[in-house]
Amino acid sequence: MLNATPLLKLYAKIRRAKLNRTNYAEQQEQELLKLVKISQNTEFGIEHKFNAIKSVSDFQNRVPLRRYEQFWEGYFKERFPKLNNITWPGVIPYFAVSSGTTSGTTKWIPYTHEMTSSNAKAGVDLLVHHVTQNPASRLMAGKSFVLGGSSELVERTPGVYSGDLSGIAVKTLPLWARARYFPPQKLALLKNWEEKIQILGRESLKQNIRSISGVPSWLLIFFEKMTEIVPGSGGKICNIYPKLEMLVHGGVSFAPYHKKFLELLEGSRAELREVYPASEGFIAVGDRSYGDGLRMIIDHGIFFEFVPLEEIDKPSPTRHWVRDLELGVNYAVIITNCAGLWSYVLGDTVRFVDRDPPRLLVTGRISYYLSAFGEHVIDEELEDSVSYAAASISKQVVDYSVGPIFPSASSTLGGHLYVVEFAQAGVSTAEIESFAGALDKRLSERNEDYEAHRAGGYGLNPPKVILAKPGAFAAWMKSRGKLGGKHKVPRIINDTALLDSLRTFAEAYK
């Protein structure tokens, strides 16, 4: 295969120069006004008087925040699947099918040809940052392995398709990328996850794999399978893919997985690189080391707003954008994109660590908010505390979920139930108790409301931890029809029935 890395490095030099002279606020306002102009004759544009919008302020005054359900009920449901000139010009050609991690509600996210270009630009930016930091890179001398869901698409009406985002990505791959993409379509179509990783694993060994990407939990399962396929690998990626340069992860917090991946990458020159994609658009990519924040992409057909989390349900919340965002504030992400979503509440929360350029850390989900008793614990605090507690007993967490335990009587206290799967087998009862104590301590340090509820045992019982044996979470997800690819283990489960289901399954799993 022709090594196209020199061409990538040439583009990277041009792209870096452009990024260095970009005024982020001006660029974002330009992106918004372009979207508004393109869509001014759609039903949505006419309804919101897009022809009178000349600034970000004008836009915010005319277009309120909306959640998916409001778009579905108000604009999509009646005419789905053929949405023609409703919120975006012309017919929407694709819908990315997205299931709510906690609720399980199916969402049909509009995806346009313009979104294909937007995602491609973001993906190339990821490569730009890699070759910038690795001048000797030969990344484009081989293939990129994407461990995603099934690429099968369903034709809902002539010319309109729906399916997994990874399937849409495969169908709309730019010509230059197709020869460098693995797996081929016939393998990407496989639905059975267990069969798929077995076949993909064997076939990938015949390829010059230079990068691999996926959700961390499923990558771990895949690499575990690869140690069986390559018996002499010793569980090290360098012995499986010796020319691997980049391992791309995203979709969930990486904190519980970081140490395990560092062990897998021992002896390898591959670096970890985080991305922040969503069905609604690509938001940010890692341009520095893990934990240093992800650099926002601000010139690819998406306009971003940020609402302080505590205001998200207020009638008139404060709507920040890159011009006036503040560091250290937990924001809900709002997206306006090139697929007809306008001031759309994405559901994620972020915190900025830099303004020039804007860099952020993903802190969780709006719905990932553990506060059944007023303790107001967010996803980021949980991830940090679980990682801290695992390190305190020299273990690594593979997966976990937590939810509230409600009191059985008015005279008793509630608390939190954690179901935790460690990478190591044979974790003792004493270690579990130590883990629970360290977790409780760390959460109290991170969250004043939690500390107040735990003080003296007046508001919350100590956390209860149930040990899930290795493989339990994957088996539970399989039992729910959510094994592999895009599916993610729910971190915070506020649904009592779902939490009981996991608890019962974990206790019975052998």
| Predicted local confidence at residue 457, as pLDDT | 61
> Which of 339, 367, 395 is a domain's end point?
367
Q: Are residues 433 and 322 in the same domain?
A: no
**Distance from C-alpha of 145 to C-alpha of 184, rounded to nearest angstrom:** 10
Q: Are residues 444 and 425 in the same domain?
A: yes
| pLDDT tier, 113 (very low <50, low <70, confident <90, very high otherwise) | very high
Q: Which of 177-186, 329-338, 476-485 shows the highest mean pLDDT?
A: 329-338
Q: Are residues 347 and 389 in the same domain?
A: no
For residue range 25-41, list pLDDT tens digits in order: 999 999 999 999 999 99
Q: Are residues 469 and 381 in the same domain?
A: yes
Q: Are residues 333 and 447 in the same domain?
A: no
Which residues, including other chains, have CB under 8 Å from residue 430's CB and lie 6 or more apart? none
Higher pLDDT, 143 or 378: 143
| Predicted local confidence at residue 352, as pLDDT | 97
Q: Average pLDDT of 475-496?
A: 84
Q: Are residues 345 and 414 in the same domain?
A: no
pLDDT over 50 at 103, yes or no:
no
Percent of the chain with pLDDT over 70: 96
Q: Are residues 262 and 410 in the same domain?
A: no
pLDDT over 80 at 100, yes or no:
no
Give the number of domains in the chain: 2
Q: DSSP code of 310?
A: G
Q: Average pLDDT of 129-136?
A: 96
Instruction: Work out the mean pLDDT of the chain and round it to a whole number.
Output: 92
Q: Are residues 301 and 196 in the same domain?
A: yes
Q: Are residues 46 and 163 in the same domain?
A: yes
Helix axes 496-508, 472-479, angle to 10 degrees: 130
**Distance from C-alpha of 372 to C-alpha of 183, rounded to nearest angstrom:** 44
> Which of 349, 367, 385 is a domain's end point?
367
Residue type, 87: T
Q: Give the total residue count for the chain.
A: 510
The whole-model pTM stands at 0.82
Straight-line distance from the first to the last Cα atom of the chain, in angstroms, rounded to the nearest whole number: 46
> Which of 321, 344, 367 is a domain's end point?
367
Phi, psi of 57 (to 5 degrees): -60, -45
Question: Which of helix, strand or coil describes residue 377?
Answer: strand
| Predicted local confidence at residue 486, as pLDDT | 66
What is the residue range of 313's domain? 1-367
Using CA atoms, how far residue 53 sits from 60, 224, 370, 453, in Å, is 9, 54, 39, 48
Q: Average pLDDT of 278-303?
A: 94
| Predicted local confidence at residue 101, as pLDDT | 45
pLDDT over 80 at 411, yes or no:
no
CATH of the domain at 242: 3.40.50.12780
Question: Dihedral, CA atoms, 204, 208, 214, 217, nearest 10 degrees?
Answer: 60
Q: Average pLDDT of 426-449?
A: 94
pLDDT over 80 at 244, yes or no:
yes
**Distance from C-alpha of 34 to C-alpha of 336, rounded to nearest angstrom:** 11
In angstroms, how far apart are the furthest CA atoms of the chain? 72
CATH of the domain at 469: 3.30.300.30
Question: Cα 327–376–422 angle (5° rounding)?
Answer: 95
For residue range 146-205, list pLDDT tens digits in order: 998 777 899 999 999 999 888 899 889 888 888 899 999 888 878 788 888 999 999 999
Q: Are residues 363 and 375 in the same domain?
A: no
pLDDT over 80 at 105, yes or no:
no
Q: Are residues 45 and 88 in the same domain?
A: yes
Q: Are residues 115 and 220 in the same domain?
A: yes
